[in-house]
Amino acid sequence: MCVYDKYVGLALDLGFSYAVPIQDFALVCEPELRAYCNAEQCGNYGSTWVCPPGCGSITECQAHASKYRSGIVLQTVSSIPGFEKTAELHVLQVEHNTRFLNLADMARRNGANILPLTTGGCLVCEFCTFPGVPCCEPERRMHSLSAYGINVGMLCERAELEYSFRPDMVYFTAYLGFSC
């Protein structure tokens, strides 16, 4: 029996706005969404192990994701006075991903086999070794939802969470998949 439910309370204690468990759920890696991961539209493209091409093909991502049929959808929701405040958005995203890394590390320490997918990718290392040197901490890296081609709106819908692009709110989302 999977014991991922115990991480819901821990996630809320860490400061996530929402932590919703879902089970018997198949992540779908959509090539149409992965197409947005390109050098013209994303500064992370070609620069990290968790974004294309370092994370593998969409087919490889789908094969990896299919092993994780239960999980927790996590959100950090915050009011923000306009998206022009990019520095504030960056701080909120780093806070969200730091909480997520802490939760993923707790799950790993307890022996869970997990797939951490988050907003914007990994922050385990100060500088990514891509492409010249293999990832320093492959067991801890946090993949990008976008790089996996995950439809975040549909993921949130499955968890019955709101997700939108409003000028006054930000919804940072992550998924901690469990293979159990």
With cut-offs at 50, 70 and 90, classify the pLDDT of residue 84: low
At 85 the pLDDT is 65
DSSP single-letter state for residue 139: T
Between 87-91, 108-112, 130-134, the lowest mean confidence (pLDDT) is in 87-91
pTM equals 0.93
Give the chain's mean pLDDT: 92
Q: Please, where are the H alpha helices in 25-121?
A: 31-34, 58-65, 86-109
